[in-house]
Chain A
Amino acid sequence: MSSTRYPWRDWAYPLIVIGAVLACWQAAVMAGWLRPISFPPPSKLAATFREIVTEGYPEGIGLATHVTITLQRIVLGYSAALALAIPLGLVIGWKPTLDALTDPVIAFGRSVATLSLLPLTVVWFGTGEGAKIFLIGYGCFWVMISNVIAAIKNVDPVLVKAARTMDVSGAALFRRVALPAALPRIFAGARVALGVGFMVIVGAEMIGTIRGLGALIMEARTFYRTDITMVGMAVIGAIGFAMAMGLQRLEAVLMPWQGREARRAT
């Protein structure tokens, strides 16, 4: 639901809701309804946030380092997945035979929970950066490739028909019709895949590192620092949200031909 008459609602409403939730939470802890060790109140979280930024956790590793390391891993794994999945998906989606041949493999690959690969990943890649980037890439790849295939396969047949009446076929049909027609769905897939990357990162950073937001969360859990776990979660959420918004902006610039409503619906 857009509110063209009251554009301020788009940012004001979420802020009001978040503010209300935080206030209730704070009040509930202060009234003694929630245990501060399980539900550290927002005031405590703010202090913890300051602590991680200035002193770091574990000692000496500041929030900026965690964020940078995590972003690096996500960006590397995610872009490698896209670089593979987009061309492969385009070819598979365009050729029905290839689609039929690969469909079971892709359905299987997508169904394997990424984190169940963790033990194998350690065997293959050790516990270094490679393992983490592989896991993120794996998760993003299957989501992305199934979306790209679906995008090409589901191009409105009437558009293809119309192009054929204009003597456009073969490679030109792919380039001039199928590809632009599939673009919105491909972008939607890229957004979902990014979300998957942020889900996988916490698990991927469980292995062999104390740096990165996932590692921060795991490390804090060991010492029952629920406040740090929550701050870590919030930071991951905020970064994921910001990147998704960035993709949406990019979409609006690249595809002005999609109405605002159509873009929201995807």
Chain B
Amino acid sequence: MGAIARSGAVPTISEGPASGKHSGRVGDTLVRIRIERVSKRFATDRPDAPPVLGDFSLAVRENEFVVLLGRSGCGKTTLLNIIAGLERASTGEVRVDDAVVTRPGEGKGVVFQQGALFPWLTAAGNVDFAARSRGVAASERAALCGELLDLVGLSGAQDKYPFELSGGMQQRVAIARALALDPHILLMDEPFGALDELTRIEMQNELLRVWAARRKTVVFVTHSIWEALMLADRILVMAPRPGRIVLDRHVALARPRSRTDSALLQLYESIWASLQ
């Protein structure tokens, strides 16, 4: 786990779309995820239909919190699945820490929209499942699970089964479980999409708190503009068929952010415009 401190190298103002042209030998150690000219076509697509993703390139820096924002069907979840190694790109490649992604696992933690907790395991059991899969010794696992559940604010619920937990609590367990993999990167696919508005805001704050404690490179998919504005270091707005970036903005505002901040409101407007 390279724990390079977060440098102040992030530009404060918006940047154009990331360039896809580079050799892969560039010694830029700050880049964690490099997506190079990825396109994706499903076997069921008509041959003349535009691809789900077309010639998509992106570089994500170490510890950067990137939000992919767009309507349903713009290819953001597909992109996340390709980064996760759950789906294969039709052309192009994704590198995480300079290694080409060929399969899931290998230090890529994923949180799904519905939590995807194993219903037959308790909260602690779910976290333990991940720790055990990573090969953590049995003697250390209990302490690790306790620590992670503490971190996500679930100290009292370790013996509860998923059906006994609220949606928000289930997502907390899912986050703890992903962290138990000690991942380099954290991929989150609309993790709060199924929660009510109030729980959702709570969970956004929780995520920021956890992220402050355990810095990770995060790619977060959402279709909520406000969620993107509250969380992101960098917002990428995507448009569909072919899935592509139509807006790429850095948000260099300190957290927690206020919804009345004029810079945020301006950004909201330009994101909204880019989505039309």
Contact = CB atoms under 8 A, between A and B. Distances in A.
Nearest to A256: B161
B50 interface: no
A177 B84 CA distance: 20
B181 interface: yes
A181 interface: yes
A189 B232 CA distance: 48
Contacts of A161: 86, 104, 110, 112, 116
Nearest to B86: A161
A143 B215 CA distance: 52
Interface stretch (A44-52, A90-98, A163-171, A209-217): A163-171
B211 interface: no
A180 B120 contact: yes
Contacts of A168: 105, 133
A181 B120 contact: yes
Interface in A62-83: none
B116 A158 contact: yes
B109 interface: yes
B114 A183 contact: no
A23 to B, nearest CB: 42
Given A256-B161, A257-B163, A262-B163, A162 B105 contact: no
A20 interface: no
Contact of A176 (B103, B129, B164): B129
Contact of B120 (A162, A165, A183, A259): A183
A258 interface: yes
B73 interface: no
B144 interface: no
Nearest to A176: B129
A15 interface: no
A258 B119 CA distance: 8
A100 interface: no
A159 interface: yes
Interface of A is mostly: helix
Nearest to B180: A166
Contact of B105 (A164, A177, A183, A256): A164
Contacts of A242: none
Nearest to B162: A257
Contacts of A84: none
A167 B121 contact: no
Contact of A167 (B84, B86, B104, B163): B104
A255 interface: yes
Interface residues of B, number: 27
A176 B130 CA distance: 11
A26 B114 CA distance: 56
Contacts of A158: 112, 114, 116
Nearest to B108: A165
A257 B114 contact: no
B86 A159 contact: no
A12 B248 CA distance: 66
Given A158-B112, A176-B129, A256-B161, A164 B120 contact: no
Interface string A91-131: 00000000000000000000000000000000000000000
A180 B118 contact: yes
B84 A181 contact: no
A262 B120 CA distance: 13
A177 B130 CA distance: 12
Contact of B84 (A165, A180, A258): A165
Contacts of B109: 165
Interface in A160-208: 161-168, 176-177, 180-181, 183
Interface in A220-266: 255-259, 262
A166 B130 contact: yes
A162 B134 contact: no
Nearest to B105: A167
Interface in B107-139: 108-110, 112, 114, 116, 118-122, 129-130, 133-134
A258 B118 CA distance: 11
B104 A164 contact: yes
B106 interface: yes
A259 B108 CA distance: 32
Contact of A166 (B112, B120, B122, B133): B133
Nearest to B125: A257
B86 A165 contact: yes
B275 to A, nearest CB: 28
Contacts of A165: 84, 86, 104-105, 108-110, 178, 181
12 contacts: A163-B133, A164-B104, A165-B86, A165-B105, A165-B109, A165-B181, A167-B105, A167-B134, A181-B119, A259-B163, A259-B164, A262-B163
Interface of B: 84, 86, 103-106, 108-110, 112, 114, 116, 118-122, 129-130, 133-134, 161-164, 178, 181
Q: Which 3 pairs show the lowest CB-CB distances between chains A and B?
A: A167-B105, A162-B116, A166-B133
